[in-house]
Every structure is written in C-alpha cells, then in structure tokens.
Structure 1
C-alpha cells in the first residue's frame, strides 16, 4: 500500500524497519493505519480510524499508556509550541536513548526543529528531504522540563480558563466567542440541557454551567477536552466533557440548545466540513423549540446552510468581522 500524504511518502521511502514504532500525532494515512506500528494522538478522528481497524491507539490523556516502542516518529504540527510539548512528553515517559524521528512539511516550519532539539540538549541530524518535507533523527533523553508546565491559565468573563498549545484561543478569549457570550443571555432557556459543540478551552461550557444549565461539552481535539475538564474544575462547576467528532457519540441525545464557535480551519486549509455537519445534523439533536446558536466569521457561507436546514434563522449580532446566528427547531 502506498502512502497518501507527503510526510508519509517521505517515510515510506526510508530504508528503515518501522515495525512496532510509535507514530505520534500523524495525519490520516492508509499506509500508517494498515501497518504494524502504534498510534499516540490527541485527534479523536485519527484515534477512531485506528481503533476501527483494531489497531493499537492511545491518547496522552488516557490512563493506559502505549508499550515501550523500538522507536518514535513525531509528526511536527503547525503549532510549534504543541510540537515542543510532544517532545517533552516523550522525553519524560519513554526510555533514554529511544530512537526519535521528527518529520514535517517545510511550509509548516519543520526546519525549526533543529533549534528546538538543540535547546533541549538533544542531538539531531537530517535524514532525508522530499515532497517538500524534511525528516530529522535524534534520540530521547531526560531534559528536566515537566510537560505539564505547558498548561497555563487566564481570566476572561469572570472565569479561570485552562489553556494549552494547540487549543483554540490559546491564552486569550476569541473575539467571536466574546460576541457570542454577549448575545447568549437573550436566547438561552433558563433551564435545561445545553451542548457546547467544539468546546476549546471550556469558556462556553463553564459559562453555561455557571448559569445552572445541565452542560455537555464535546470536541474532537483531546487537548481541548482536557482543557475544558480543567476549566470546569477551576470554576467549581459541573459538566460532562466528551471527545468526539461533531455529534459522534451523541446519536440518541437531545438538547434544549446547542451553542458553538465552530472551527473552519484544518491546518492551513479552510474546511467547512465540521460546521456544515453541525448545522445539518443539529435538528436531530434539538428538542422541539430548541435553538442552535453559533458565531462565525462574517464571510463564511453559513446563512445558506442555516436556511436549507431550518427554513429561517436570525442574525443576533454582526460587527462586520463576526456574526451570531440563531435558528429554532420546530
């Protein structure tokens, strides 16, 4: 089976025995998913794909840890601070001397890995480059930095929010979310079950729970799920936090309201897929009279999706950058 993505195509051409290796934060690629390695990832879509093939797949936030591998390949993410966190996690948990390879797209900043590894005192050599990607090799060692140090917190809307590299709105409140919060009191029920779709750092979930609503939060990003759990604890409020792709895992659940600042970026490309699924599938998860309330960049084509799905919708706010939409399920 041939690799599908450029980074995996670069790896496939190596004269290396990757059997049993640990693939860390990789993209979806049938060559990996059909191979003999193990997965470590925070992306629920990738985790679900591996598990659907009965392949060993692990989350860094789960209690079960992967067996010690003969080597590790880290797929360098766009968020460099997140890549640094993965390095610290691996150095802290795997044996000293474990072979490490780091691969990524040149356009995604993979060449910065040389400086990152040098700052951690890890040697590094370039192995190969092709398909506008580069592969480096090193070995894991103890670096004396706790990966938990990457977790920070900040205050917004009277809430203490947990923050981590790679989570939407890292270290600050997104302006679209701020606009959404200004309008929510006018359209939410005084009681009932509410879903925060794409919970990020948990600001919406904590805000909803603080108002006494029975709150469920879901995100495909395991780092966001962990951030939301920490945010709820920090604010002494309760809520259910789940890892899932849009409504995956919520098939039989109905809510009185769904609120969201849905993602549309997938790495460097614009992706309407998750938001489109959110809008199209929302009626099946709303009770009669329940509302979908979301905020989005003003240029995104959500009005057409909302009208096709709900028949009509309201624009609650428009500051030319962001719009807040509300649609009611009859």
Structure 2
C-alpha cells in the first residue's frame, strides 16, 4: 500500500530492505501494513492493529526484544519523549544495532543531531523530503537510563509521577484543577465506585481515592498507566490502573457510580474527537442508575450536542471561558 503520512512517504522511497526490522512508535499508515518486522509502541490502538495482522508486538516500557537487524524510530513532537525512546533502545537492543530516526521538520527532527551527539552516538543524514528528515546511527551504551526520564511534582497536596509521554507532563492541568474544584456535593465520594478515563499522571484517581472513593483508572498509553500506578503508590493510596481503549479493558457488566474525565482530543498534532465521543456515547452502559458522567473540556469542543443526544440533558458546573465542566446523569 502507498504511504500517506510524510514520515512513511520518506521511508517508502528508501532503497533499504526493512525486512524483520523493529518499528518504534510508528503512526497508523497503510504502508506499514505491508512491512514485515515487529512493533514497539506504548499506544494501545497501534499495538492492537499490529497484533491483528500477526506481528510480534512489544507494548510495555522495558520489553525483552529479540535481536533485530535494525530499528526505525518515529520521532515524536515531544523532544523529551524522543530522548526517552533513544535511551530505551540503547538499553534494550545490542550495541551496534542500526537505528534510523525519521520525523517531520515541524516536529523538531533536526534536534536529533544534538541529542545523539550529547549521548556520544554518531549520526549521518540519509534523506530529506516531504518536509521530513531521515537519520541513521548505531546504538551503544550510554550513561543515562530510561528511568531517569521519570520525575515527580507536587499538586493538590499529592506527589505526582510524570513522564514526557503523558498529557500535562510535570504540571497540573488547569482544566483538571477546575474539574476537581467543581464536583457536585450530591456525588458522595466516600465509598463511591468511580472510573477515571484518560488518567494521565493519575491526579484525578489519587485525589478521588484520598476522599475515600474506589477508583479505576484507564488510559490507552502505557506511560499513563505506569504513571498512575506510581502516583497511587507514592501517596499510599489504592486503585486499579488499566491500559484500555476507553472502556475496552473493563470487565463485562461492571458499573460505576460516576465516570470522571479530562478526555484527550489530540493525537500528536491532529485533533481527534473519537475517544471523547465514545466516552460520552457509551457512558450509560457503564453507569449505575442515576450515575454521573462528569468531564472537563476546552470550551470550543463540540461536546454539548453529544451529551444532549446521549443523556437527554446536561448541566454546566463551571465555565472559566477556557474550560467547561459538564455533568450528565443517567436516568
């Protein structure tokens, strides 16, 4: 199939035989469907798609990867995340393994040269087209470890674990703060069974658990699931964190007193409303009778119509002109 993303279009024109290579953090692109090899991705949806076509998939943060002839890393827009991938590849693959790094100019791919130099790894440019660049290096032992990318910060009297691969890295999101400050008094948190969708660093789950709620946290990112687990542990709190495509990992028939969320609407630079749309449309199936769906979103996002169609009504609990907190209740 023909490539559609600029990075894959650049790879498509290479003379390299990528047979049995490891594809690292790739986008969804039809050209990759025709490539052999294995996948390392922390994105659940990408991992599932590769599994469905029979590929070997590594989806945790420190997998035991069998020897591969080479690897291709798709450089992310967050440079700190790209640095983590480089450190992780150096830790998981043998010294001397070929690594190609591809990315868009507007995503900062040129910074790869300085980052590789700082790690003591050589580099050469292979190609430049489609507003993308392709570099090659060979992996080696470096002084930094992937775990060095994890940090902690304090917010709402909680110690929060953070990683470059999650939303709001290193700070409390203003929308999340508005959400937690405006939960309705009618929601009795003590003993309530609550689902946190799009858990990120785990701040919502930890805050709710501290109020006595039983929390389940889900996110499609391995980084977010691990961050939430670390956050709960750091604060001496209990809760369950699962990698899930919205509701996909939940046990059949499990119902919650409330679903509380700051849902994502970006996939890299692209706007993607589909996870939030499924969060809203499928919420009634996962709520107890009279259960709440409470979410915060940028004021411009088109969620009111979805809430009205799904719940036949909703309330706005807070609006600071940038964010709105919506509440809908299952009848």
TM over 0.5: yes
**Native 8 Å contact 2:318 2:324 kept in 1:** yes
Match of 2:309 in 1: 308
Of stretches 170-179 and 244-253 in structure 1, the one that deviates more from structure 2 is 244-253
Equivalents in 1 of 2:59, 2:267: separation in Å? 20
Equivalents in 1 of 2:172, 2:224: separation in Å? 14
Of stretches 64-73 and 165-174 in structure 1, the one that deviates more from structure 2 is 64-73
**Native 8 Å contact 2:65 2:93 kept in 1:** no
**Native 8 Å contact 1:33 1:55 kept in 2:** no
Match of 1:219 in 2: 219
1:263 equivalent in alignment to 2:264: yes
Equivalents in 2 of 1:132, 1:227: separation in Å? 34
Match of 1:168 in 2: 167
**Native 8 Å contact 1:24 1:39 kept in 2:** yes
Structure 1 position 48, deviation (Å)? 0.8
Match of 1:131 in 2: 130
Alignment of 1:172-187 (within 5 A): 172-184=171-183, 186-187=185-186
Structure 1 position 185, deviation (Å)? 5.5
Match of 2:321 in 1: 320
Match of 1:141 in 2: 140
Equivalents in 1 of 2:60, 2:130: separation in Å? 30
Alignment of 1:246-261 (within 5 A): 246-250=246-250, 251-261=252-262
Q: TM-score, normalised by structure 1?
A: 0.96
- Alpha carbons of structure 1 residues 266 and 187: separation in structure 2 relative to 1, 3 Å: farther
Q: TM-score, normalised by structure 2?
A: 0.96
Question: How many residues are treated as equivalent by the alignment?
Answer: 329
Structure 1 position 187, deviation (Å)? 4.3
Question: 2:46 aligns to what SS in structure 1?
Answer: helix
Q: Which runs of 5+ in 1 are unaligned?
A: none
1:203 equivalent in alignment to 2:218: no
Match of 1:81 in 2: 80
Alignment of 1:154-165 (within 5 A): 154-165=153-164
- Alpha carbons of structure 1 residues 167 and 187: separation in structure 2 relative to 1, 3 Å: farther
Q: Which runs of 5+ in 2 are unaligned?
A: none
Alignment of 1:1-16 (within 5 A): 1-16=1-16
Offset from partner CA, 1:148-179 (integer Å, 9 cap, x none): 11100011111110000021111110010001
